[in-house]
């Protein structure tokens, strides 16, 4: 029989963090589906102290902070903050003070960008994963390492040629897909980030990025097709590509990614010519 040692407290905490657990509950179990307690008898209610005559209504319960801002109000606030930023540094500071997205409460880090802001190519992924949340940088896990190798295959590097960001700057718990509401709230920030970086070419990495920024649905059908994107300053060419995380799960699809990479290289060379 194989003996398995019990996991240490450190291992359990690390595993909980990887799974997206963000809070602890008390040790006493509660049956939330049990029959509610019976209403207070009339005699007991009669003995309760009466409110003073003329007293105003009881104060309403205060909403929790994460839900204090309605989604529409949060999107309007995001748009105002984003447009007020005149540099990428100011935009990062605006995101750091923005409280309209509940993902900020569960995430460890604000994952703003990596690479060269003056690069000719800007890549926009979906959202940070666990590794990105820990390090505060986009595409640093296994999918990020694959992305770097993909870029190197056509002579591009983050340090010199490419600026990298995400549709959402905070990690969704458990690496789940962002909700449409979360995308709508954060969209003004990434749109302003693209406008301020002003790249020559935009690459949307994965389905959520392609849909949120380019309005394309079905990444397998829409990848590899050039469309126009209005940065706010000018119209540039934009391309949707498969996400490296998907390629790690489906290695056979790397042939499609290679076609898209060659199309990206050709577009860069054509602009230089």
* Residue-level pLDDT at 9: 59
How high is the pLDDT of residue 43? 46
69-272: CATH homologous superfamily? Answer: Uracil-DNA glycosylase-like domain (3.40.470.10)
CA distances in angstroms from 114 to 30, 55, 72, 90, 125, listed in the order given: 45, 58, 30, 16, 12
Determine the pLDDT at residue 8: 61
- Asked if 201 and 121 count as a contact pair (C-beta separation under 8 A), the reply is yes
**SS3 sequence, 40-86?**
CCHHHHHHCCCCCCCCCCCCCCCCCHHHCCCHHHHHHHHHHHHHHCC
What is the model's pLDDT at position 71?
77
CB 110 within 8 A of CB 99: no
- Quick one: pLDDT at residue 3? 44
Question: For each of the chain's 273 residues, which pLDDT tens digit applies?
Answer: 444 455 565 555 555 555 555 555 555 555 544 555 555 555 454 444 444 444 444 444 333 344 446 778 999 999 999 999 999 999 999 999 999 999 999 999 999 999 999 999 999 999 999 999 999 999 999 999 999 999 999 999 999 999 999 999 999 999 999 999 999 999 999 999 999 999 999 999 999 999 999 999 999 999 999 999 999 999 999 999 999 999 999 999 999 999 999 999 999 999 986
Quote the pLDDT of residue 263.
Answer: 97
């Amino acid at each position: 029989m194989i003996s398995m040692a019990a996991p240490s407290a450190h291992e359990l905490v690390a595993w909980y963090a990887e799974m997206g657990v963000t809070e602890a509950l008390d040790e006493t179990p509660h049956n939330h589906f049990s029959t509610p307690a019976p209403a207070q008898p009339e005699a007991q209610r009669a003995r309760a102290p009466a409110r003073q005559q003329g007293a105003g209504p009881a104060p309403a319960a205060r909403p929790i902070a994460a839900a204090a801002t309605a989604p529409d109000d949060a999107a309007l606030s995001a748009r105002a903050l984003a447009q007020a930023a005149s540099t990428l540094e100011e935009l990062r500071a605006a995101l750091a003070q923005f409280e309209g997205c509940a993902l900020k409460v569960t995430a460890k880090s604000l994952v703003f960008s990596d690479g060269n802001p003056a690069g000719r190519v800007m890549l926009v992924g979906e959202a940070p994963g666990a590794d990105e949340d820990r390090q505060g940088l986009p595409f640093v896990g296994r999918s990020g390492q694959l992305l770097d190798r993909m870029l190197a295959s056509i002579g591009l590097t983050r340090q010199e040629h490419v600026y990298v960001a995400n549709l959402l700057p905070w990690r969704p718990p458990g690496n789940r897909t962002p909700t449409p509401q979360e995308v709508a709230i954060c969209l003004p920030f990434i749109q302003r980030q693209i406008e301020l970086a002003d790249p020559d070419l935009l690459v949307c990495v994965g389905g959520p990025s392609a849909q949120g920024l380019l309005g394309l649905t079905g990444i397998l059908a829409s990848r590899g097709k050039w469309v126009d994107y209005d940065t706010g300053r000018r119209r540039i060419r934009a391309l949707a590509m498969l996400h490296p995380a998907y390629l790690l799960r489906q290695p056979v699809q790397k042939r499609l990614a290679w076609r898209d990479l060659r199309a990206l290289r050709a577009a860069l060379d054509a602009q230089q010519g």
